[in-house]
Amino acid sequence: MKPQAIGFSLDADEVVSEELAQSIQGALSSPKSSGYLADRHNYFLGQWIRGCGWYPDRILRLFKKGKAWWPLKIHDTPKLEDGNEHALLLEGPLIHYSYRSLEQYFEEFNAYTSRLAVEYANRNEVMKGFGIPLNLFFRPCFWFLEKYLFLRGYRDGLPGFFISFSSALTIFVSYLKLWEAQRDKG
């Protein structure tokens, strides 16, 4: 019988810990699922972020080929066809060095907000009437409060505040870019 092809997804800014590597080897030698989640530890400016919704961050990384798909264009992560709730959790962390400097963050910010604005346009969102205060004030404020208070970003100090604030700013700038594109279309 031909063995099932296995896919392993790893971003350039991710590092497999020794414990995770051993767990992956065990899953490959004796598969019990069509997919496996890695417990990703996200670092921002060298600090492991436990709040802001960044932890726990269980992400599908090991899967049988043909059983996973990528639903999004931005921050694309694979999903199992029958849902990730059937995936098993691997032991050991996957280390993710998301941004090592503010300069790196802001270099990517402009491109990211532009891609989000395009996704909003593809969903036929309109920046007129109540959509303007909703998307430029209420959504960003809610996003900040959710990340900083409800998802306890405050526990991560200044990096947690920055992540919460910049997440709100991302929403604000993305919708502002959508408004600009719609205004220019006339």
Q: Would residue 117 count as lying in a domain?
A: yes
Are 10 and 85 found together in one domain?
Answer: yes
Q: Would residue 15 count as lying in a domain?
A: yes
Residue range of the domain that includes 20: 6-99
Total count of domains within the chain: 2
DSSP-assigned beta bridge partners for residue 59: 38
Q: Of 51-60, 64-73, 94-103, 174-183, where does mean pLDDT reach its minimum?
A: 64-73
Q: Which run of H or of E encompasses 160?
A: helix 157-185
* Cα 68 from Cα 102, distance rounded (Å): 34
Q: Would residue 127 count as lying in a domain?
A: yes
Percent of the chain predicted with pLDDT > 90: 73
Q: Which of 44, 72, 99 lies at the terminal end of a domain, its last residue?
A: 99
Are 22 and 59 found together in one domain?
Answer: yes
Q: Would residue 1 count as lying in a domain?
A: no
* Cα 56 from Cα 66, distance rounded (Å): 27
Contact in structure between 92 and 19 (CB atoms under 8 Å): yes
**What does the pLDDT average to over 58-81?**
74
Contact in structure between 39 and 89 (CB atoms under 8 Å): yes
